[in-house]
Chain A
Amino acid sequence: MNAISKVEAAPLLKVDGLSKWYGHIPGCMDVSFEMRPGEVLGIVGESGSGKTTLLNCLSGRLPPSAGRIEFDTRRFGLRDIYTLSEPDRRRMQREDWGFVHQNPRDGLRMRVSGGANVAEPLMNMGQRHYGAMRQATLDWLSRVELDTTRIDDKPRNFSGGMQQRIQVARNLIHGPKLVFMDEPTGGLDVSVQARLLDLLRELVRDLDLAVIIVTHDMAVARLMADRLLVMRRGQVVETGLTDQVLDDPQHAYTQLLVSSVLQI
Chain B
Amino acid sequence: MISTSTPRSNETERYYNYAYLDEQTKRMIRRAILKALAIPGYQVPFGSREMPVPYGWGTGGIQLTAAIIGPDDVYKCIDQGADDTTNAVSIRQFFAKVADVATTEDTAEATIIQTRHRIPEQTLKAGQVLVFQVPQPEPLRGLEARETETRAMHAYEEYGLQYVSLYENVSAYGRIAATAGYPVMVEERYLMSPSPIPKFDNPKMDDNEAILLFGAGREKRIYAVPPHTQVRSLDFEDYPFEVQTWEESCALCGADDAYLDEVVLDDVGTKMFVCSDSHHCGQRRAEGHVGPMAGHQLAQGEAEAAL
Which residues of chain A have a CB within 8 Å of any CB of chain B?
86-87, 90-91, 94, 109, 111-113, 115-116, 119-120, 123-126, 128-131, 133-134, 151-152
30 A-B residue pairs with Cβ-Cβ distance under 8 Å, sorted by A, are A86-B152, A86-B156, A87-B156, A91-B156, A94-B158, A111-B143, A112-B143, A112-B164, A113-B171, A116-B164, A116-B168, A116-B171, A119-B164, A119-B167, A120-B164, A123-B161, A124-B161, A125-B160, A128-B163, A128-B236, A128-B237, A129-B236, A130-B166, A130-B167, A130-B170, A130-B237, A130-B239, A131-B238, A134-B171, A152-B171
CB of B2 closer than 8 Å to a CB of A: no
Q: How far is the CB of A181 from chain B (nearest CB, A)?
A: 23
CB of B172 closer than 8 Å to a CB of A: yes
Q: Is the contact region of chain A dominated by helix, strand, or loop, or is it mixed? A: helix
**When the two chains form the complex, which single residue of B152, B155, B238 contacts A130, counting CB atoms closer than 8 Å?**
B238
Residues in B neighbouring A128, C-beta threshold 8 A: 163, 236-237
- The answer for the CA separation of A147 and B236 in the assembled complex, in Å, is 26
- The answer for the CA separation of A87 and B158 in the assembled complex, in Å, is 9
- The answer for the CA separation of A115 and B165 in the assembled complex, in Å, is 12
| Contact A123–B171 (Cβ < 8 Å) | no
- The answer for the CA separation of A90 and B143 in the assembled complex, in Å, is 18
| Contact B164–A123 (Cβ < 8 Å) | yes
Residues in B neighbouring A109, C-beta threshold 8 A: 143, 164
Residues in A neighbouring B170, C-beta threshold 8 A: 130
Residues in B neighbouring A113, C-beta threshold 8 A: 168, 171-172
Other 19 A-B pairs with CB < 8 A, given A113-B172, A130-B236, A151-B171: A86-B152, A86-B156, A87-B155, A87-B156, A109-B164, A111-B142, A116-B167, A119-B167, A120-B160, A120-B161, A124-B158, A124-B160, A124-B161, A125-B160, A126-B160, A130-B170, A130-B239, A134-B171, A152-B171
- The answer for the CA separation of A86 and B142 in the assembled complex, in Å, is 24
- The answer for the CA separation of A211 and B152 in the assembled complex, in Å, is 28
Most buried by B among A115, A128, A129: A128
